[in-house]
Amino acid sequence: MKNKIQYYQSREVWFTGPNQVDVREVKIKKPSPLEVVVSNRYSAISAGSELLLYRGEMPSNIALDSSIESLKSDAGYPTKYGYACVGEVIDIGEQIESSWLGRKVFCFHPHTSHFAASIKDLIAIPSGIAMKDAVFLPNMETAVNLAQDGKPLVGERVVILGQGIVGLLLADLLAQYPLASLTSFDKDEDRREWSKQAGVANVFAPGNLTLNELSTVSDADLIYEVSGQPEAVNLAIELAGFSSRIVLGSWYGTKSAKIGLGGVAHRNRLQFITSQVSTIGPDLTGRWDKTRRINLVWDMLKKVRPSKFISHSADIQDAPEFYKRINDGEKGMLQVIFKYEDE
C-alpha cells in the first residue's frame, strides 16, 4: 500500500547561543526519489565536542565537521549538532530498493527524531549489535583511530589521561595489547572505577601521586591525552621519557593553557601527534580506508558492548536540562543518550 503521509513531524535540538538549547518541531517532507526517511531511536551526546558548542568555545572559522554532509556549516548560532544517531528506515524514495524499508541504520547526524538522508550517508547496523551499542560507533571509531595513530608496541608503558567515554573505550582496546603497563588518570572517582573494570592496572587521580607512584608510571613510552583539558598536556610531558610519543586526541576548541615546552619537553625529543578521526593517518591509507575501519569498529562494539556506559537516558524534550547538568559537572553523568520512543 502506498504511503499517503505527506510529511513527518520531527523534534530537533538547536544550539541558539552560549548555554542556550531549544527543542524545535519541524516538518520533514517525504523523501525525494534518492532519499529515505529515518525514524530515530537513540542519539548520543558527545560531551567533549558538544560542550564546546554549548559553551561558545568552538572555533567559528571552521566547519563543525567537513567530512559529514549534515555538519559542513560553521559553528555559528543557531545551529544543530550531534553525530551519533541510530534508527529505522520508515519511508523510501521511488528509486530506492525496497529492502531498505525497515532497516536499522546508523547515521552521523544531529539530534533529531526524524530526518531524510541519502543512503550513502547511512551505515546498516550488523546483526547481533543492539542499537544502544551501535550509537557508540563514533566514539569507538575515535578510540580505534587513537590506537592506530599511537602505534603501541609490545612491552611498552602506556598512559591514558582522561577516562570519559573515548578514554574508556581506548582503555578497553589497549587492555588487549601485550603492554608492560597500562595506566590511566581521571579526577572522577566513578570513572576511575570504570577504568579498572576496563582492565587498567594503575588508575590515579591527577595531582595525588606519591613519589613512589610517580616513579612507577613515569618514563612512559606512549601517552594519550583525551581529557579535553589542554593543561593536561603538562602532565603528559611530566610522565614522558626520552623520545616518547604524546598523542593529542582532545578537541580543545578555543580553550588554551600555558604548556611547559622549554624544559624536558625540549631535551627529551618528544613526539607530539595530533589525532583526528575524520581522516586516516597518511601512513595507513595504502591499506586502510573508512570501510575497513568501520568494519573493525563493529567488531569492537560487539566485543566491548559499550551500552554499559550509558548513565542516563533522556527524552529529547529534556535536552536543555541535560546539557546544563553535564556542563555543571554533575556527578555520574558518564554518557547521556536521547531516546525518541517510549521504552
pTM value is 0.92
114-151 as b/e: b if 16+ CB within 10 A = bbbbebebbbebeeebebbbbbbbbbbbbbbbbbbbbe
What is the full DSSP assignment across 227-275? SS-TTHHHHHHHHEEEEEEEEE----TT-------SSHHHHTT-EEEE-
- CA dist 67 to 64, 109, 226, 290, 302, Å? 9, 12, 21, 11, 25
Structural domains of the chain in order of their starting residue, each with its CATH number: 7-130+305-339 (3.90.180.10), 139-283 (3.40.50.720)
C-alpha cell at 122: 547511512
pLDDT in tens, 10-51: 999 999 999 999 999 999 999 999 999 999 999 999 998 999
d(CA 296, CA 97): 27
pLDDT in tens, 101-149: 999 999 999 999 999 999 999 999 999 999 999 999 999 999 999 999 9
List the one residue out of 104, 98, 208, 217 whose CA is nearest residue 157: 217
d(CA 223, CA 123): 32
Q: Are strands 114-118 and 104-107 parallel, antiparallel or unpaired?
A: unpaired
pLDDT in tens, 261-314: 888 888 899 999 999 998 999 999 999 999 999 999 999 999 999 999 999 999
- 219 with 238: CB under 8 angstroms? no
Look up residue 76 and give its DSSP letter. Answer: P
